[in-house]
């Protein structure tokens, strides 16, 4: 029972940050000047990218590299990148509210499944993954809010959508717990798959958006994000 409670709490934390990021973005839109808003947006995008890289380096790949052969982990990792590549193309073609939501959930859903799967074997790793998911969701949802606003979606509709999506992590985590907790290799394969896909997304969608003409400092957000990851590893590792 204690383990189920912990999975619920940590996966709920990881998911609710989607809603929190949306609320922050909504407040920024109302009270912050456009030039400052744009500057902060680039900072948060870089921050999220740094956290994602830390998640890849410290949580999603180490165990898979350890237990799989070079050939196997290479295939799994590259498969993730290729699948995310095609999903990214499909989402871009479809557009609209659903497509934007799915783009935000591309990394969240498989990570949440992995969270539930690994909790039984390594509580600290599960907590660390929850921390990474939660932290990366704030800048991701912050950025997604403004993407949706560009598509003429109302602030109220966006915030409600983010609130509903926040609880998806709990269901995904429990799916991972009940279907994959005894399947260590499958759980680690999912994490490797996620790592490949997320790395593709970082360099395709995230990194290009951090650059502002005649400004170099927003990219420092990536270093800060990675530092947050290192601190998390020090605390929970």
Residue 97: what pLDDT? 59
In contact, 56 and 173? CB cutoff 8 Å: no
Residue 35: what pLDDT? 67
Residue 10: what pLDDT? 94
How confident is the model over 92-142, as pLDDT tens digits?
887 665 666 777 788 898 989 999 998 878 888 889 999 999 988 988 888
Closest CA to 136 of 128, 125, 124, 146: 128
Parent domain of 156: 14-236
Token couple for 219: 């990219």
State pTM to two decimals: 0.87
Token couple for 19: 């809603």
21 alpha carbon, distance to own chain's centre: 12
Residue 173: what pLDDT? 93
Token couple for 119: 């909790």
Q: Does residue 8 lie within any of the structural domains?
A: no
Residue 112: what pLDDT? 92
Q: How many domains does the chain have?
A: 1
Q: Does residue 1 lie within any of the structural domains?
A: no
Percentage of residues of the chain with pLDDT beyond 70: 93
**d(C-alpha 232, C-alpha 132), whole Å:** 8
For the chain, list residues with pLDDT below 50: none
Q: Does residue 165 lie within any of the structural domains?
A: yes
Q: Does residue 119 lie within any of the structural domains?
A: yes
Q: Does residue 209 lie within any of the structural domains?
A: yes
In contact, 206 and 147? CB cutoff 8 Å: no
């Amino acid at each position: 029972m204690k383990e189920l409670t912990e999975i619920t709490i940590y996966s709920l934390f990881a998911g609710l940050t989607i809603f929190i990021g949306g609320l922050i973005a909504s407040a920024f839109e109302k009270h912050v000047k456009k030039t400052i808003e744009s500057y902060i947006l680039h900072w948060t995008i870089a921050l999220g990218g740094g956290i994602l890289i830390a998640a890849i380096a410290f949580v999603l790949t180490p165990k898979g590299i350890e237990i799989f052969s070079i050939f196997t982990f290479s295939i799994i990792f590259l498969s993730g990148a290729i699948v995310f590549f095609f999903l990214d193309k499909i989402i871009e073609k479809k557009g609209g509210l659903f497509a934007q939501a799915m783009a935000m959930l591309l990394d969240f859903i498989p990570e949440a499944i992995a969270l539930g799967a690994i909790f039984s074997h390594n509580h600290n790793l599960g907590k660390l993954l929850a921390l990474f998911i939660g932290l990366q969701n704030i800048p991701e949802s912050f950025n997604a809010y403004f993407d949706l606003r560009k598509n003429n979606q109302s602030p109220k509709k966006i915030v409600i959508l983010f609130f509903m999506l926040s609880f998806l992590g709990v269901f995904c985590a429990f799916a991972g717990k009940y279907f994959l907790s005894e399947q260590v290799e499958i759980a680690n394969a999912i994490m490797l798959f996620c790592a490949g896909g997320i790395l593709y997304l970082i360099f395709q969608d995230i990194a290009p958006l951090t650059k502002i003409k005649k400004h170099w400092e927003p990219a420092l957000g990536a270093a800060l994000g990675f530092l947050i990851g290192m601190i998390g590893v020090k605390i929970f590792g």
